[in-house]
Amino acid sequence: MNPEVQKHVEYASGYLDLKMLEDALQETDAALALEPHNPRAIAMKSAILWHENRLTEAEPFIAELAELNPRDSGIWINLAYIRRRVHSLDAAVETLQHAFDANPRNALAHFNMACYRAVQNRPDEALTLLENALSLDPKLRDLAKAEPDFQPLHGLTAFQKLISGEA
């Protein structure tokens, strides 16, 4: 990385830690002016915008980061989260599929898709995906208990067994 770009990214990180968000954005903009496709600068800019809940503005940066790192399922999961809020549930589902392509054993990808399928009133798919998520990472059980997206599944015996650990 260009030393000047690295300096701007490091300053941006420090400003973000201090909650000096406008200064942090200025530093990322300076870094991106020097290297428009620098992954660290893009990641920093998207993190700052996300921190400010400026998801519409963060989306293109996270999308570029996902394209630069297509095997990183975590980035695709974050992009799906944003697209659900900025666009639609269908856009989130389509985006989340990339997380599965990147890593079919990512528990959070299964968990998030289970959420989406529950909201779409597709309980069988939601339960299968949730079961997969919990088998990959049992710690997600507590999150599943509190997840509002699973509200449509609460009356199902299969869901109760999953979140209680009986299944």
Of 21, 40, 68, the residue at which a domain comes to its end is 68
Answer yes or no: do 1 and 58 share one domain: yes
Residue 165 has a pLDDT of 85
pLDDT at site 1: 73
Distance CA 64, CA 62 (A): 5
pLDDT of residue 3: 94
Q: Which residue has the tokens 């939601």?
A: 126
Q: Which residues of the chain have pLDDT under 50?
A: none
Report d(CA 114, CA 111) in Å as an integer.
5
Whether residues 25 and 97 fall in one domain: no
Domain that holds residue 63: 1-68
Report which DSSP code applies to 74: H
Question: What pLDDT, on a 0 to 100 scale, did the predictor assign at position 167?
Answer: 65
CATH code at position 48: 1.25.40.10
Q: Is residue 94 located within the same domain as residue 167? A: yes
pLDDT of residue 166: 81
Question: Is the same domain home to 81 and 156?
Answer: yes
Q: At what angle do helices 39-51 and 3-17 cross, to 10 degrees?
A: 20
Show Cβ contacts of residue 16 under 8 Å, excluding neighbours closer than 6 positions.
Answer: 24, 44, 47, 48, 51
Domain boundary among 46, 68, 90: 68
90 and 129 belong to one structural domain: yes
Please write the tens of the pLDDT for every residue from 69-91. 999 999 999 999 999 999 999 99
